[in-house]
Amino acid sequence: MRLCLLMATAPNPYECDLDGRDPFEALADTAGRIRDAVASWTAADFERSYAPGKWSIRRVIIHLAQTELALGARMRFALAEPDYVAQPFSQDAWLPLDEALDAAAALDAYTVLRRMNLSLLRALPAGHLDREFSHPEYGMLTIRWVVSQMAGHDLHHFRQIQTVPDPGEPRRTPKNPAAD
């Protein structure tokens, strides 16, 4: 079992998934790695799950796109609005809203939003990553915290995608992206 040091005031629920990896490096390459991992999949392949009773990979990718949209907007509000208070969102309430989206469109949305968010982050003036805002569940956060959350969240779901077996094969053990 891995022991992770969490921030005292606002623990990042995905800190362990980063496994010491630089969050900015993970943000820059994980969306592409996910795209590469599923490049040859058919529509039926995307309906497979990483574990019994869990979301299909199509739903995981919809969730990644929705999260990229929500957290990208959260960062922009925090950067543009003084004393910004973030609005929490429920992944379980959001997922059905885009249920009709196919995997290819969800993957395109996710990767385009990631490029847009990376462009924003790379262009930020010094000190803006430490811009604070509040969240009703996590307390005081910074843009840097959101970056780390997004990066760990990506890696969390990338590992799930890696466990999906090819049809007829046994379930695989996920690879550690940080070790690649």
Decide if pLDDT at 46 tops 90: yes
Q: Give the residue-averaged pLDDT of 2-19.
A: 68
Q: What is the mean pLDDT of residues 103-120?
A: 98
Q: Which domains, ranges and CATH numbers included, belong to the chain?
A: 21-166 (1.20.120.450)
Q: Exposed (0-12), middle (13-18) or buried (19+): which is 59, by Cβ within 10 Å? A: buried
pLDDT tens-place string over residues 25-37: 999 999 999 999 9
Where do we find the tokens 């039926």?
44
Q: In the numeric block, which tokens belong to residue 104?
A: 């290819």
Whether 177 has a pLDDT exceeding 80, the answer reads no
Cα three-residue angle 144-18-176, rounded to 5 degrees: 155
| pLDDT reported for residue 179 | 43
User: Is 6's pLDDT higher than 50?
Assistant: no
What's residue 167's pLDDT? 64
pLDDT digits (tens, 9 = 90+) for 62-106: 999 999 999 999 999 999 999 999 999 999 999 999 999 999 999
Average pLDDT value for residue range 12-21: 92
Q: Which residue has the higher pLDDT, 165 or 61?
A: 61
Does the structure show a pLDDT above 80 at 126? yes
pLDDT at res. 9: 53
In 3D, which of 157, 68, 85, 63 has the Cα closest to residue 120? 68
Q: What is the pTM of this model?
A: 0.88
Which residues, including other chains, have CB under 8 Å from residue 27's CB and lie 6 or more apart? Answer: 114, 117, 118, 121, 147, 150, 151, 154
| Cα–Cα distance measured from residue 88 to residue 151, given in angstroms and rounded to the nearest whole number | 18
Q: pLDDT at position 64, please?
A: 98
pLDDT at 180: 42
